[in-house]
Amino acid sequence: MDQHALARKVDELAAGDVAVAREFIRILTDTNRTTLATLREALHAGAWSEAASAAHRINGSARLIGFRRLVEQTAQMESAAAAGDATRAAALIASVEADVERLDTWLANLHNADGSPRV
């Protein structure tokens, strides 16, 4: 996935409606940030069920927009957390964080301040 593919997918999901696209981007970005924070906290606390649930939520967002690499990473994270595998979860968190941050940056860059599409 790249920013242009993401722009096409957001436009498709919003049926070409810029206001809907802006709201979708806002919700997805907010959800990603809060869920990633929850994932980090749960991993740190060893709250495996909560970590698995957070990874699952991020996976759903990634699947919705077609970000396959993040889908794969969060599926692995969910599996590691469900198994209570701290070593594997620790090995995955940096790549999950990087891709969520990449996605949020791409989303932020899709529209200008006036709401017009940038890409």
**pLDDT (average), residues 41-58:** 98
pTM of the predicted structure, to 2 decimals: 0.88
Which position has the higher pLDDT, 107 or 35? 35
Indicate the SS3 state at residue 111.
strand
**pLDDT (average), residues 84-94:** 97
At residue 2, the pLDDT reads 84
The CB density around residue 58, as the number of other CB atoms within 10 Å, is 26
Residue extents of the structural domains in the chain: 3-108
- For the chain, the C-alpha Rg in angstroms (whole number) is 15
91 Cβ contact list (under 8 Å, min separation 6): none
Q: Which CATH class is domain 3-108?
A: mainly alpha
Find out whether 104 and 32 touch, Cβ atoms under 8 Å. Answer: yes
**pLDDT (average), residues 80-94:** 97
pLDDT range class, residue 117, cuts 50, 70, 90: low
